[in-house]
A and B are shown apart, each in its own frame.
Chain A
């Protein structure tokens, strides 16, 4: 399974998101640290989920980091996050 589809599966299960955008931005980092041929090293994720309601930014991102701990310890070099509750 690709890294992107692993991210999608895990985030969908954990957050039942209203909106989930996963962009592989690895090509923007060609030649930089952590870049690998084939990409899937640098991602941008935008996630809208009711689970974020009432939580501050740090708490929201920690939830995402927990769900993606295996990927962050392995193939993901960089993960830019935008975490919103519905209506924000």
Chain B
């Protein structure tokens, strides 16, 4: 525990869930093109993930930027580790690095790495 309750909540989420996407909107109804593209990558890979809608919680929206030291959303966490935003996800997906990272961390996908 720290003295920042928002950080505690974020830390809890990324600890309890193997793959977490902080995003605008929900996986079913993304409210932003970059969040939608990120959901698409994870869905294509068949990764089970938790989407956290920052639009429905302003404290998380601000808090995640400070927690990750990253000013934009979406943000991807795998096994508690910050991986990057939409551009990085897309580049890593296209090069196969994202698939490799998920495999290395023991996250199940329906696509072979």
Which residues of A line the B interface, CB within 8 A?
29, 32-33, 57-58, 61-62, 65, 69, 72-73, 78-82
Q: Is the interface of A mostly helix, strand, loop or mixed?
A: helix
Question: Are B85 and A61 in contact, CB atoms less than 8 angstroms apart?
Answer: yes
B87 and A62 within 8 A (CB): no
Binary interface encoding of chain B residues 49-92 relative to chain A, with 1 for a CB under 8 A from any of its CBs, else 0: 00000000000000000000111100000000011111110011
Min distance, Cβ A73 to any Cβ of chain B, angstroms: 8
A80 contacts across to B, CB distance below 8 A: 34, 86-87
Q: Which residues of A contact B46 (CB under 8 A)?
A: none
**A57-B86 contact, Cβ under 8 Å, with A32-B33, A78-B34, A79-B72:** no
Q: Which of B16-45 contact A (CB under 8 A)?
A: 24, 31-34
Q: Please tell me if the beta carbons of B32 and A33 are within 8 angstroms of each other in the complex.
A: yes
**Given A57-B88, A57-B91, A80-B86, A62 contacting B69 (CB threshold 8 A):** yes
Shortest CB-to-CB span from B70 to chain A, Å, is 7
Contacts of B91 in A (CB 8 A): 57, 82
Query: How extensive is the interface on chain B, given as a class?
Result: 10 to 19
B105 to chain A, nearest CB (A): 16
Contact assessment for A78 and B72 in the assembled complex, using a CB-CB cutoff below 8 Å: yes
Contact partners of A32 in chain B: CB under 8 A: 32-33
Q: Identify the closest chain B residue to A29 (Cβ).
A: B33
Q: Is the CB of A58 within 8 A of B84?
A: yes
Asked whether B33 lies within 8 Å of A82 as measured between CB atoms, the reply is no
**CA–CA, A29 and B67, complex, Å:** 28
How far apart sit A79 and B34, CA to CA, in the bound complex (Å)?
10
Residue contact B86 to A61, C-beta cutoff 8 Å: no
- Assembly CA distance A72 to B65 (angstroms): 12
